[in-house]
Amino acid sequence: MSQHALLSAGCKAWRSITCPRSELRLDLTLGCGQTFRWRETADGHWTGVMRGKVWTLTQTEDMLWYYVYNHQKNPGTENRQKQKVEEKEQLLVKRSKRMIDIKQEEVGMCTVMSETDNKEEDLLRDYFQLDVKLGDLYRNWSTMDPHFKHTANIFTGVRLLRQDPVECLFSFICSSNNHISRIQGMVDRLCQTLGTLLCKLDDVAYHDFPPLQDLTDPSVEMRLRDLGFGYRARFLQQSSQTIVNSHGPDWLNSLRSAPYLQTRDALRTLPGVGLKVADCVCLMSLDKFEALPVDTHVWQIAKRDYNFAAGNSQKTLTDRVYKEIGDFFRKLWGPYAGWAQSVLFCADLKKFQKLREEIPVMKDEKTELKNKMKKRRHEGYTQEQKREKGNKYQRS
């Protein structure tokens, strides 16, 4: 039977990237609700599907370790597949003097192929956006925001993922009026029903996310309703149909090069996509780091921790209050505001309550933040007065 890989087993197919925990914590990054494809399959080991491959990830203090499984193999053809790999290895060695190391390890019905071309490492670096220096961002936010500073001392290494836009969009359409564990179940059922089987480990089947075209079929809505998707089933089918028929299959990827507000407005034309879902997709798959998803949870953080008063008399989050909260945090944190917000969102989740209890109480935190924001507003007002005087002088 195929089994999930363990680093402690000493398998040669494990590979690694230098990456300290301060730059990435897998438990926080993969468990904070920005992706729904990963599960902790052993202590500190996360297994999931990314870029059409099944991966197991784990980390030591300064290294990110990864193990990649091949597609499922039929037991009846296992010997033939093994023979083909051995023949391929011999042929490559004969044809080239350069080192091309194809290592094969059988793990039940799944095999791991490891090559020296670093393609898998590149995929992983892109997915975790490892070129972004998270430590520098944390230091910058901590300088500007005392509340963030003492929270960040415990919640280090929360990164934003660069997900596939199709998977990200349709996963967050499922998030409407939902919680993380239920969204995970819905995304799993969607992939099991319409996606390609990639691998089976310890009786857990891993499927790829279904292609956009496969979601356009009118029968998809009823199939998903039968799986408990409710009204979201119609949004999934209609949004996929709109994209394919009106924009083309590569449209979502093309939005990565468009301005943030233009991208958000374009996404909002799709059925089932409001401000929050659009911002989630912008931030987590389309390279819009200033996008800041706001739900009632984030609204509470703004009011409780930042004395944000707008909309206090309202029971529902209006578009106006949504925009004001986003602008407030963008002014406070700068161009990577969406990344900073994800740290505080993660820190506020119930599943990380024990970790949150380690955060020291900062008595004067709100007063210090309030004074900083007041000073900024005053400086902005003073600069505006100076500009106005200058304009009057020029006119006279």
Instruction: Give the Cα separation of 348 and 305 in Å (integer).
Output: 11
Asked if residue 111 lies in contact with residue 105, where contact means CB atoms within 8 angstroms, the answer is yes
- Residue whose C-alpha is closest to residue 127's, from 19, 45, 203: 19
Asked if residue 48 lies in contact with residue 30, where contact means CB atoms within 8 angstroms, the answer is yes
- Residue whose C-alpha is closest to residue 43's, from 8, 1, 2: 8
Helix (H, G, I), strand (E, B) or coil at 243: helix
Helix (H, G, I), strand (E, B) or coil at 296: helix
Report residue 50 as tokens. 């990314």
Instruction: Give the Cα separation of 224 and 247 in Å (integer).
Output: 24
- The dihedrals phi and psi of 294, each to the nearest 5 degrees, come to -125, 120
- The dihedrals phi and psi of 60, each to the nearest 5 degrees, come to -110, -175
The catalytic position among 53, 200, 276, 288 is 276
Rg (CA), the chain: 24
- DSSP H or E segment with residue 107: strand 103-107
What is the separation of C-alpha 95 from the centre of its chain, rounded to a whole number of angstroms?
42
Instruction: Give the Cα separation of 100 and 14 in Å (integer).
Output: 17
Task: Clarify whether 84 is annotated catalytic.
Answer: no
What are 199's strand-pairing partners?
A: 206
Instruction: Give the Cα separation of 20 and 26 in Å (integer).
Output: 11
Helix (H, G, I), strand (E, B) or coil at 196: coil
Instruction: Give the Cα separation of 348 and 174 in Å (integer).
Output: 22
HSE at residue 43, side-chain half, CA atoms within 13 A, is 2
> What does the DSSP assignment read for 158-188?
-------HHHHHHHHHTTTT--HHHHHHHHH
Kindly list the catalytic residues: 276
